[in-house]
Amino acid sequence: MSETTLNPKGKFGTAPVFLTAISTILGAIMFLRFGYSVGAVGILGTIAIVVIGHLVTIPTALSLAEIATNQKVEGGGEYFIISRSFGLTIGAAIGIALYLSQAISVAFYLIAFTEAFDPVIHFIQENYGFTLTKRVIGIVSILLLAWLMLTLGASSGMTLLYVVVAILGVSLVMFFAGSSNYEGEVPFRILRNEDFFKVFAIIFPAFTGMTAGVGLSGDLKNPKKSIPIGTLAATVIGMIIYIFIAFKLGHSAPPEILMDIENHQLIMADIAVWWPIIPIGLAAATISSALGSVMVAPRTLNAIASDKTVPIPRFNYWLSRLKRKNGEPVNASLVTCAIAFVFVLIGDVNVVAEIISMFFMVTYGSICLISLLENFASNPAYRPSFKSKWYISALGAAMCIWLMFKINTFYAVVSLVIMTLIYLSLSRSKEKQDMAKMFRGVIFQISRNLQVFLQKRKNSLEDESWRPSVISISRDSFDRFAAFDLVRWISHRIGFGMYIHHIDGYLSKDTKELAQESHARLIKMQQISDSSVFVDTIINPDYSNSISQVLQLPGISGQDNNMILFEFSKNNIQPCQEIVDNLGMARAVKYDICVLASSDKDFGYNAEIHLWITSSDYQNANLMIYLAYIILGHPDWHKGGEIKLFAVYPESEIEEQREKLLDMIKSGRLPISANNIELIPLSNQVSNKQVINERSRDADLTIVGFRYELTKHSGKEIFMGYDQIGNVLFVNAMKEKPIV
């Protein structure tokens, strides 16, 4: 029988985390390529590589320690941390890449493991005439490793890990205790025998093992303690050992010997007190690294499958199964060993190894970014007992990105493209809320700080340029969309917009549920229309009280709201009287006022806006022009759309007003052609409403100015009588807006 959840009772302490990490850090690269690095770039250059590499690994280790002491790190290690912070879809995209890196690393370490058998291969060939190939050794090794993991599980692997780490320790002691017969040494400076970043690319994988122990998180008794201590200890001790090895190698042989990989690949054997200990140590280091990877990779895959991230339910279920006897992810181990077997069979993973490094870089960068964002967001739920510094996490994330492109730009792009494709594939079956989850706290902090800053600066700054910050309130949000559309057009790029849905009634459980349902519908409208309008609801038994509360709401941008938009249907003029009755409140708080009269024609073809300016609109005119310009700039409006300006003045003022309008349009750089300006003499026989009804019959939006003072005498009649045209926007400006 199998189970589909990880064993809740951990069986490992801190030692396995440390041993898994240190055995992966002090692995194949140390024995096979570190001498080459000292010869190529010198002792100082190699130390620089170690330091630069640890500018990635130490911030990552600190970030890991911080995150691990804030939340329960369950099965999957790095994947669990990333997915629970960035969301399942982004987490799975990085997690799958991380898993492939871990699985292919098993093959990489086993191929390096076969290099330790060079003396054995030569001995058998010279004495028995039998040629034993490294590929055969690799295949036998992966089969034995697979048998070990599928039958005995991680516990047996951990026992073996203690043995191989002990051998690794002895080999290092004998290396440092020995000396060589080579004449000469490497000068203590940076050499230019090879390109620095080419050598860095070869050496950096040696430092990528510090998070290997995190993959055992589901099997640890106390992950919050074991992960920080084990990971940080392995990282720091590994860095110190590498610096001492650089000094030892540099003082034991000249550069030309160290760089001769063909004849002196195991240069450490020539220095050690007893040379066979180095091949034995190489075998121990690489098999322990392979063992660590083959324990960690299946747990990453098991965690991904347990989250049901892959859009194949049966595959998820099969991979998430655990062996009842010991809680081992046996099916995930089988897949991991199969992948490793394929790459061992190929026998050459040099190209793949660079992509593996890229994926590890992305993983480390993600972990540092999580720590950075959590620190910046100041989330009260984020209370780690171990605290890193935000600037250390920022350094780690920046170094990861920089080094990816310095090592190999092509592979950096390839790895990012692969993970993007994985994300797009997975996101088809998941809710696309990951980015919002990831940056919600950060956006909140940025918004908070900006609003506080703007409030502090408000009294010391003059409004040099006006921009609309419009708020609208309507009880007909789901019957007519004209007001919502107008708010989102005005708030596009240039302005800000809030849309409030009024619900009649007293605040109660029922009306609150209705408000939540209405808010969900508004959010859907917002998403479908791809708008930047902030939406909300308000419950009140009196519409006037709702308007009063809305007029007192703070602006979402840090800028105070400065405009209110009312809306009524030409087919139902009753709400128009409510609007007229409440214009005084908007006027009292010095808001610009817009009243939209909606028709069945709606906004027609979204192509043509008519502006009607009269001699009494000296204060409204600029605001009317601004609004027409802003609305026409929205993508919903036709690219070839145009603004037509009609000015009604006494005949004696026609020419004077024409020049003023042309100068204003020209100096204001507004997209109104001179051919689209028409001045109409004021007539006593024909009313302005009659002229507008005749000339703007085909307009998609007609903008007309009105004076607040006249509403006291004429009431709603000011907004009546425009039945022959489409939507009409009535505008009253609190003060004249300068067009600059």
Condensed to tens digits (0 to 9), the pLDDT of residues 48-57 reads: 999 999 999 8
Average pLDDT over all residues of the chain: 82
Which pLDDT belongs to residue 466? 76
Check residues 397 and 130 and name the one with the higher pLDDT.
397
Q: Residue 680: enclosing H or E segment and its boundaries?
A: strand 677-681
Q: DSSP code of 718?
A: G
Confidence of residue 16 (pLDDT cuts 50, 70, 90): confident
Rounded to the nearest 5°, which phi and psi values hold at 497? -140, 140
Confidence of residue 657 (pLDDT cuts 50, 70, 90): confident
600-726 CATH fold: Rossmann fold (3.40.50)
Q: Return the minimum-mean-pLDDT range out of 407-421, 521-535, 637-651.
A: 407-421
Domain with CATH 1.20.1740.10 in the chain: 2-430
CATH number of 2-430: 1.20.1740.10
Alpha-carbon gap, residue 672 to 250, rounded angstroms: 76
Pairing of strands 728-732, 642-649: unpaired
Alpha-carbon gap, residue 181 to 253, rounded angstroms: 8
- Token readout for 241 is 């050992």
Residue carrying the six token digits 């907004």: 719
Confidence of residue 227 (pLDDT cuts 50, 70, 90): confident
pLDDT tens, position by position, 349-382: 455 566 667 777 888 888 888 888 877 766 656 6
- Side chain identity at 74, as an amino acid letter? E
- Side chain identity at 20, as an amino acid letter? T
Which pLDDT belongs to residue 10? 58
What is the per-residue DSSP string for 377-401? Answer: HT-TT---SS---HHHHHHHHHHHH
Confidence of residue 508 (pLDDT cuts 50, 70, 90): very high
Q: Return the minimum-mean-pLDDT range out of 142-151, 175-184, 191-200, 270-279.
A: 142-151
Q: DSSP code of 569?
A: E
Question: Do 50 and 358 contact (CB within 8 A), yes or no?
Answer: no
Nearest CA to 249 out of 50, 57, 33, 54 is that of 33
pLDDT tens, position by position, 658-714: 887 777 767 655 567 778 888 888 877 788 899 999 999 999 999 999 999 888 888
Alpha-carbon gap, residue 388 to 368, rounded angstroms: 10
Q: Residue 228: enclosing H or E segment and its boundaries?
A: helix 223-250
Check residues 712 and 446 and name the one with the higher pLDDT.
712
Which pLDDT belongs to residue 365? 86
> Has this prediction a pTM greater than 0.75?
no
Mean pLDDT across 320-331: 76
Alpha-carbon gap, residue 476 to 524, rounded angstroms: 16
Which pLDDT belongs to residue 7? 40
- Token readout for 246 is 């650089």
- Token readout for 353 is 């190894």
Residue 276's region, left for phi above 0, alpha for psi from -120 to 50, else beta, is alpha
Confidence of residue 4 (pLDDT cuts 50, 70, 90): very low
Query: 670-691 b/e with 16+ CB inside 10 Å = b?
Result: bebeeebbebbebeeeeebbeb
What is the torsional sign of CA 553, 558, 560, 566?
negative
Q: Return the minimum-mean-pLDDT range out of 172-186, 217-231, 619-633.
A: 217-231
CATH number of 467-598: 3.40.50.620
Which pLDDT belongs to residue 738? 74
Please report how the helices 277-306 and 330-346 are oriented relative to each other, as an axis angle in degrees rounded to 10.
130
Alpha-carbon gap, residue 712 to 81, rounded angstroms: 64
Mean pLDDT across 267-279: 91
Residue carrying the six token digits 């909300």: 536
Rounded to the nearest 5°, which phi and psi values hold at 566? -105, 160
Question: Do 273 and 177 contact (CB within 8 A), yes or no?
Answer: yes
Which pLDDT belongs to residue 554? 80
Check residues 636 and 428 and name the one with the higher pLDDT.
636
Confidence of residue 2 (pLDDT cuts 50, 70, 90): very low
Which pLDDT belongs to residue 348? 56
Which pLDDT belongs to residue 667? 64
Which pLDDT belongs to residue 488? 93
Which pLDDT belongs to residue 97? 77
Which pLDDT belongs to residue 50? 94
Question: Which strands, in side-by-side order, build the sheet including 534-540?
Answer: 534-540, 496-504, 469-474, 563-569, 592-598, 728-732, 701-705, 608-614, 642-649, 677-681
Which pLDDT belongs to residue 1? 36
Domain with CATH 3.40.50.620 in the chain: 467-598
